[in-house]
Structure 1
Amino acid sequence: LSLSSSGQNASSQEICPSNSSYSSHVSDSHPGSALSRNRTLYSRSDSGISSLLPSDYFKYLTWHKIEQNDIRGSQLRCPRVREGPSAEGLVFRQEACTLPPRKRVLEKNEWETWLQENWEDCTNLNISFQDLGDPYQVANFNRILRRLIRVETLWLVDNSLVDLSAIRLPSCRVLNMNKNHLTSFKQLPKIPQIQHLFLAENHIETLTGLSSLQCTPLESLTLKRNPCEFHQNYRKQ
């Protein structure tokens, strides 16, 4: 017998079901449920009763796949966008070398996701520290950047970014790209309205390409901890 936090005697063998029996009970009560298959039991130290943490219900879901969710992408300030390819996508990638190229057609659920993400209406967005690794993740990240036509403040800190020259951010006024892998100003996105640009802790070796920012209303530029800092007349240039 053990003393529970409520002060009552309780037998763990009589009252507490085993993890296996409890798991089977949950699975049986919700047949075919993805949530029931992914739930994990946790033992509470105060009473010894196994229970579920609320976060377990959602740990395998992205924000736009949660039911009864009306949140749009433009309402998020720091979303996690580092998703991986689906199982079908992985198979397709393995067979891509043997299949002829085909035009990608958006299915209904993909189109609904596109509308709910709503990146076109974002004006203030932080998508830093995404830990981009797989080429699929980089491609998805660039897909989102191409949709940010109204963003004014954008943080892309520590994303291992190398070249965004194909991206255009027509309304961006504040861009933070600290701690990435840029080696030249030519790798920056098109930012015609930029006012404050942060490029600290990259790998920019020369100031070549800096002239591309002369036609912008740039007010401040941060380049600390870049190799170009050690060049002669760096400040003057």
Structure 2
Amino acid sequence: HRLEQCDVTGDQLTCPRVREGPSEEELSLRDGTGHYWERGRRTRREEGQRWEERRQENWENCVELNLSYQDLGDPFQRENFLRILRRLIRVEKLQLIDNSLTNLSSVRLPRCRMLNLHRNHLVCLRQLPKLPAVEHLCLSENAIASLGGLAALGNSPLRSLNLNRNPVTFTQDYRAR
């Protein structure tokens, strides 16, 4: 991709926005189910169009990715972000800093060796994605209060775990555990 007015190519972007939220018009047309109404009838995109959009994204081939600072304020943005994370089957290094993430347990990152979840809103280790190959995991500045769920990382080749500035650090002998 090329941004003409800024003379920037896609490979120079280190932290792209995944997607802007819905427009004000779309928000006013949304019903309680997340669908949109247009002139009194429910509309859905054609399946062919959706397939074409997904094909163009090509998230499955990403090996190293930085999706930090996404400002995921709308539920639509969070759902789309999780959909993208579920497609990262080859990612080895992933940065998800300061995204207000609360639960990634529905995500599986089979090849991820380094994951940075600094400054999110995780409250326990059970909210982490499935990480069978993780070696370096940064969870600093979250709200993790206990080490419950640590056993899920027991089969991974984990070498470093950063829990700085989490409530769990005030627990006696938490490092030994």
Deviations 1:98-142 (A, max 9, x none): 98x99874343x433322211000000000011110111111111
Matches within 5 A, 1:158-169: 158-169=98-109
What pairs up with 1:114-125 in 2 under 5 angstroms?
A: 114-125=54-65
Structure 2: runs of 5 or more not aligned: none
Higher RCO, 1 vs 2 (CA within 8 Å, ≥6 residues apart): 2
Are the equivalent residues in 2 in contact too, given 1:76–1:125 (CA < 8 A)? no
Q: Aligned to 1:231, which of 160, 163, 171?
A: 171
> CA 1:222–1:236 in 2, change beyond 3 Å: closer, same or farther?
same
Question: Quick one: which amino acid aligns to residue 54 of structure 1?
Answer: Q
Tell me the distance in 2 between the aligned counterparts of 1:80 and 1:133.
Answer: 13
RMSD, aligned α-carbons: 3.1
CA distance in 2, matches of 1:82, 1:134: 11
In the other structure, the counterpart of 1:149 is 89
- Structure 1 residues 91 and 182: alpha-carbon distance in aligned structure 2, compared to 1, 3 A threshold: same
1:199 equivalent to 2:150? Answer no
The alignment partner of 1:94 has SS state of coil
Could you list the structure 1 runs, at least 4 aligned residues long, displaced by more than 2 angstroms after superposition: 74-78, 85-92, 94-99, 101-108, 110-113
Percent identity of equivalent pairs: 54
Looking at secondary structure, tell me which structure has more strand per residue: 2
Return the letter of the residue paired with 2:146. T
Matches of residues 119-138 of structure 1 in structure 2 within 5 Å? 119-138=59-78
Deviation of the 1:90 alpha carbon:
3.2
Q: Which has the larger radius of gyration?
A: 1
Q: Which residue does 1:106 correspond to in 2?
A: 47
2-structure distance, mates of 1:129, 1:218? 26
Aligned residues: 170
Deviations 1:153-190 (A, max 9, x none): 00000000001111111111100001011110000011
For the residues of structure 1 that align with 2:46 and 2:158, how far apart are their CA atoms? 40
The 1:229/1:179 distance shift into structure 2, 3 A limit, reads: same
Distance in 2 (alpha carbons) for counterparts of 1:222 and 1:215: 18
Matched position secondary structure for 2:172 = coil
* Alignment counterpart, residue 150 of structure 2, candidates 196, 210, 214: 210
TM-score after normalising by structure 2: 0.83
Matches within 5 A, 1:1-237: 54=5, 77-85=14-22, 89-90=26-27, 92-94=29-31, 96=33, 105-108=46-49, 110-237=50-177
TM-score, normalization: structure 1? 0.63
Deviations 1:167-215 (A, max 9, x none): 1111111000010111100000111110100000111001111111111
SS for the counterpart of 2:106 is coil
Q: Match for 1:80: what amino acid?
A: R
Which residue of 2 is the match for residue 30 of structure 1?
none
The structure-2 alpha-carbon separation of the partners of 1:169 and 1:97, relative to structure 1 and needing over 3 Å to count, comes to: closer
| 1:24 equivalent in structure 2 | none
User: Counterpart of 1:151 in structure 2: which amino acid?
Assistant: V
Which ranges in structure 1 are unaligned for 5 or more consecutive residues?
Answer: 1-52, 56-62, 64-68
Q: Shift of residue 83 of structure 1?
A: 1.6
Matches of 1:116 and 1:97 in 2, distance apart? 24
Deviation at 1:89, TM superposition (A): 4.4
